[in-house]
Amino acid sequence: MTSFWTGKRIRLRSIEPEDWTAFMGFAVDEERLGDLLHPPRSAEGFRAWAKEQAVTKSDGDCFSLAIEAMDTGQIVGAVGSHYADPRAGRFEYGITMGAGHRRKGYAAEAVVMLLRFMFAERRYHKCEARIFGHNDASLALHRRLGFTEEGRLRDHVFFASRHRDLVVMGILADEFAQLHSMSERD
């Protein structure tokens, strides 16, 4: 048996100190897409962040993982669970993909792997994702994976000089199980 964290195209792994350059590139990509706008961070800031991530223990069921392409060994993105509430059985997750690695199936495989872990191994009941309303590619990806739009917060976030909608999407464990095998890789 191969590792639970290894799929057909990708492997999910912990963040290593040398991954800082990939994450610096992801930040630039997100800014270009109008997803996030933060003050510039120095290369040393990214180095320090990656070094800190490499030794940080997961906060319960909240963690970040690098997405590595199996064929090249290159970091193509990152995925993580956030705001886990074990009592309610709910968690949020986020994903980012490098600009040159989108629409290759990496994101879908990473999300399915993460959800399989959180639903089957950690026994969560629901996953939520918050997606900018103008991010049509991400909205389409989540619909393909079985997420349902649960709400739209109008003009909820402000960046790139304007207010934008935030779409809340969700999937329940049983909905996920109907679409994706809980024990086998897709």
Mean pLDDT of 63-72: 94
Q: Encode 80-99: b = buried (16+ Cβ within 10 Å), e = exposed.
A: bbeebeeeeebbbbebbbbe
**For a pLDDT cut of 90, what percent of the chain falls above it?**
62
Please report, as a single letter, which amino acid is at residue 110. A
Mean pLDDT of 13-30: 84
Give the pTM: 0.88
pLDDT confidence bin for 35, thresholds 50/70/90: low
